Amino acid sequence: MEANNRNNNLESKKYEMLASHIEMFRKAFGAYLEQCGRENAKSAESGKLTEGTAGAIIFENILCNYYETLISALKKLAEYDRKYFPALIETYEELWKSAPRLKDRNYLCPYLLDLCKFLYEIKETGALTFFYNLLIYCREIPFLSLNGEKEKKLADSYENVGGEDPFAEFRKERRERIADSFDENSFNKTFDKFFLILSGWREKTEGYYTKDEIFFMNGLFIMDELADCDYGSDYGEERNGGKNKNMFRKADNYDENTYLYVYGDKMKEKIVRFYEKALRHFKRAIDYNPGNPRYYYEYARCLKNSGKSEEAEIFFKKAFDLNG
């Protein structure tokens, strides 16, 4: 008993010390950040860099590393004691507000997905419901669907081997077409609304959602983000902001042989477990609210993706009957 108490005290002191170090790190970095801001303003005033470019350079090279360090430490604290959870969310919020508003760069989605994965791991189901809804909304912000860094690498690769880029004109036409179709007002409106929705996270992460909503959104997250993901595809990168590449290569027409062929035995078992867990969540959502056709539809989709096509047909029909 005494030994257990001693170990608990040591563990508690370790995390208290980590919290103290985080606070010192914040204060030390604050002074440095102020200096960076002054240098940034000077560069913008002198015309060396535009304000947006200078802000992006500081964010990508300094700020995001600072916030990622804080987030990593705060995750350890929040996992140990939920009293640190608000500090973690506030740090993500600071990060998003510090990120430059660039129409061709999505700094929001990758960190939101990272947060959702952490919430799933520590079983914060109410918070996951809110932030996964926010991630789905965030993917509707009309960022330019154009990866400038990837295009530059392609052009450089031809130049390095002394050849001409046969698709240069095609890419130029595509860039112009995307830029012409971009709606600045829609971008600004949806971008601002993101922070308006985010401001309600405190009231909506505990006791706000019904049990069926929580089970449903948690099941959807497991199915669409953990089990059914695409490794390094253009769609996956653009959808999540290009930062967090998913773990597995997506396969269509799932069955056990497909899993074994594409992933190997070990990965197949992991994905099957994800689908089984998602199915349990959808089933609980249906039990709590049997009149919602969306719950039957996603349950059926999960059954189909996990190789149970015949059973899936029953629930697809149920969803359509309820919806009709």
The mean per-residue pLDDT over the stretch 129-133 comes to 97
**Looking at residue 113, what DSSP letter applies?**
H
- Give the integer Cα–Cα distance in Å for 233 and 229: 9
pLDDT value of position 257: 44
Res. 1 pLDDT band, cuts 50 70 90: low
% of the chain at pLDDT higher than 70: 71
Average per-residue pLDDT in the chain? Answer: 80
Q: Is 245 helix (H, G, I), strand (E, B) or coil?
A: coil
pLDDT value of position 158: 61
Mention every residue, 6+ apart, whose C-beta is less than 8 A from residue 238: 106, 145, 147
The mean per-residue pLDDT over the stretch 70-77 comes to 95
pLDDT value of position 37: 66
At 276-300, the pLDDT tens digits run: 999 999 999 999 999 999 999 999 9
Q: Is 99 helix (H, G, I), strand (E, B) or coil?
A: coil
The more confident residue out of 39 and 185 is 185
pLDDT value of position 149: 60
At 14-31, the pLDDT tens digits run: 888 988 888 888 888 877
The mean per-residue pLDDT over the stretch 310-317 comes to 95
> Does the pLDDT value for residue 112 go beyond 90?
yes
The more confident residue out of 184 and 278 is 278
- Give the integer Cα–Cα distance in Å for 234 and 232: 7
The mean per-residue pLDDT over the stretch 59-76 comes to 89
pLDDT value of position 234: 42
Q: Is 148 helix (H, G, I), strand (E, B) or coil?
A: helix
pLDDT value of position 230: 40
Q: Dump strand ranges (E) for the chain.
A: none
> Does the pLDDT value for residue 75 go beyond 90?
yes
What tokens does 306 get? 């996990």
> Does the pLDDT value for residue 93 go beyond 70?
yes
- Give the integer Cα–Cα distance in Å for 201 and 287: 27
pLDDT value of position 251: 36
The mean per-residue pLDDT over the stretch 177-191 comes to 84
| Longest Cα–Cα distance in the chain | 75
pLDDT value of position 52: 58
- Cα 66 to chain centroid distance, Å, stands at 19
Report CA torsion sign: 148, 154, 156, 158.
negative
- Give the integer Cα–Cα distance in Å for 181 and 128: 34
> Does the pLDDT value for residue 213 go beyond 70?
yes
Tell me the C-alpha to C-alpha distance, in Å, between residue 229 and each of 71, 93, 271: 24, 26, 10
